């Protein structure tokens, strides 16, 4: 009889992926964009009219349609998701020397944006069912290491103020937002949603981005919709929305010809030609989401029959956009992750692991963190598999 460590069949897993994606392509990308609507018409208009840079009708239209789709009061388009995160942190008052709580399991942009503020990333654990921040564990952790004063929440070990928490909706799966809102209220923390991956995802019927005071989106080429590069700031606070627009346009005051600026600003404007692409993509977003959820359902059904591996599904009360589909190897098989990745690539299937945990990177290794056994397990055993809309 084979022992458990020998019972997983890597060939079977790769063939299961191939059976679901139904494509004859020799190489299957992880996630590629699809342009099937008015993209060329809108971009050509920008070129023909020469409104290709930071001013033009498509920037305003993109912001308006994005706010309408997500249900927020204001959306501000910016040059990329990292810039959106940076401004979100500035908007809620993150200052040099503050600590900002974030998942150890995240894309590096989250930690980089905190560093741009001169603040300190403070890494926290995830939970298996959402792959995102574990609100219950975070509350227990803060009860041990934090003290709430009139000036805010402070780390008793470092003496620094803990200003905010930035949960990331991993691969489009919403985190426990109600739990995090309660933690933030108890410990006087600002909630910033890193929704870079969750356009089209809902928590208890409400689109992600409506729970934090501010939210960051990304429209990189591999996201659910793309503007080439690009991002956005979402908020339900009209004053913060106005300030976000001001900060991201060099803090320039309106004037017919003079260059007047009243604070340090940033050249984070999204060009009109990129916004034109985004407007066309937003028009087809509902169809994209339906196709992606259909693909996820097929994966889920196929992997239910395969031993040693689990397909990552949306949690209760959540509707995921399934931006990147993922499988988790059972713990006893995690050592075979790289062998599976190698085999998939040899068969033309572009799969990838999760990111390296932030505290394993040299520039962040000395920063504060809680024990992160769940994040470590996810990082060791998760594999993203092809998720393009056209599959």
Give the DSSP letter string of 204-269.
TTEETTSSSSEEEEE--TTSSS--SS-EEEEES-HHHHHHHHHHHBTTEEP-SS--EE-S---B-B
Antiparallel, parallel or unpaired: β 146-149 and 318-319: unpaired
Only one residue has tokens 């409104």, namely 51
| pLDDT for the residue 6 | 53
pLDDT of residue 158: 98
Query: Residue 7: its pLDDT value, please?
Result: 82
Name the pTM for this structure: 0.95
Q: How many other C-beta atoms are found inside a 10 Å radius of the C-beta of residue 341?
A: 18
Complete edge-to-edge strand list for the sheet that includes strand 352-353 = 309-311, 325-329, 382-385, 352-353
Task: Answer for the pair 189, 182: CB distance below 8 angstroms, yes or no.
Answer: no
pLDDT at 1: 30
Domains and CATH numbers, the chain: 39-283 (3.40.640.10)
Q: Coil, helix or strand for 216?
A: strand
Q: What's residue 23's pLDDT?
A: 83
Please list the pLDDT of the chain residue by residue as tens digits (391 residues): 334 445 899 999 999 999 999 788 899 999 999 999 999 999 999 999 999 998 899 999 999 999 999 999 999 999 999 999 999 999 999 999 999 999 999 999 999 999 999 999 999 999 999 999 999 999 999 999 999 999 999 999 999 999 999 999 999 999 999 999 999 999 999 999 999 999 999 999 999 999 999 999 999 999 999 999 999 999 999 999 999 999 999 999 988 899 999 999 999 999 999 999 999 999 999 999 999 999 999 999 999 999 999 999 999 999 999 999 999 999 999 999 999 999 999 999 999 999 999 999 999 999 999 999 999 999 999 999 999 999 9
Distance of CA 28 to the CA centre of its chain: 23
Predicted local confidence at residue 55, as pLDDT: 87
């Amino acid at each position: 009889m084979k022992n458990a460590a020998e019972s997983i069949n890597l060939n079977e897993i790769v063939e299961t992926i191939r059976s679901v994606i139904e494509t004859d392509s020799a190489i299957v990308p992880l996630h590629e964009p699809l342009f099937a609507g008015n993209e060329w018409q809108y971009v050509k208009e920008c070129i023909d009219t020469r409104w290709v840079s930071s001013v033009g009708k498509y920037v305003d239209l993109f912001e308006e349609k994005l706010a309408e789709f997500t249900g927020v009061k204001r959306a501000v388009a910016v040059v990329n998701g990292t810039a959106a995160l940076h401004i979100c942190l500035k908007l809620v008052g993150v200052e040099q020397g503050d600590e900002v709580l974030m998942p150890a399991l995240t894309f590096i942009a989250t930690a980089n944006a905190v560093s741009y503020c001169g603040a300190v990333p403070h890494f926290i654990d995830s939970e298996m069912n959402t792959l995102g921040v574990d609100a219950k564990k975070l509350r227990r952790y803060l009860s041990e290491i934090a003290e709430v004063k009139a000036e805010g929440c402070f780390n008793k070990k470092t003496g620094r103020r803990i200003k905010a928490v930035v949960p990331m909706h991993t691969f489009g799966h919403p985190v426990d937002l109600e739990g995090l809102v309660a933690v933030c209220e108890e410990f006087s923390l600002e909630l910033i949603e890193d929704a870079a991956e969750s356009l089209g995802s809902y928590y208890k019927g409400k689109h992600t981005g409506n729970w934090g005071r501010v939210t960051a989106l990304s429209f990189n080429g591999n996201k659910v919709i793309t503007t080439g590069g690009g991002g956005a700031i979402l908020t339900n606070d009209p004053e913060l929305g106005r300030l976000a627009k001001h900060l991201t346009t060099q803090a320039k005051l309106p004037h017919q010809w003079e260059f007047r600026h009243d604070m340090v600003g940033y050249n984070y404007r999204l060009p009109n030609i990129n916004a034109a692409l985004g407007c066309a993509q937003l028009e087809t977003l509902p169809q994209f989401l339906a196709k992606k959820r259909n693909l996820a359902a097929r994966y889920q059904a196929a992997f239910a029959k395969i031993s040693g591996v689990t397909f990552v599904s949306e949690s209760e009360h959540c509707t995921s956009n399934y931006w990147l589909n993922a499988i988790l190897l059972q713990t006893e098989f995690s050592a075979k992750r790289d062998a599976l990745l190698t085999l998939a690539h040899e068969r033309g299937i572009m799969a990838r692991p999760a990111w390296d945990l932030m505290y394993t990177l040299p520039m962040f290794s000395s920063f504060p963190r809680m024990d992160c056994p769940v994040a470590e397990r996810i990082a060791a055993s998760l594999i993203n598999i092809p998720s393009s809309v056209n599959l």
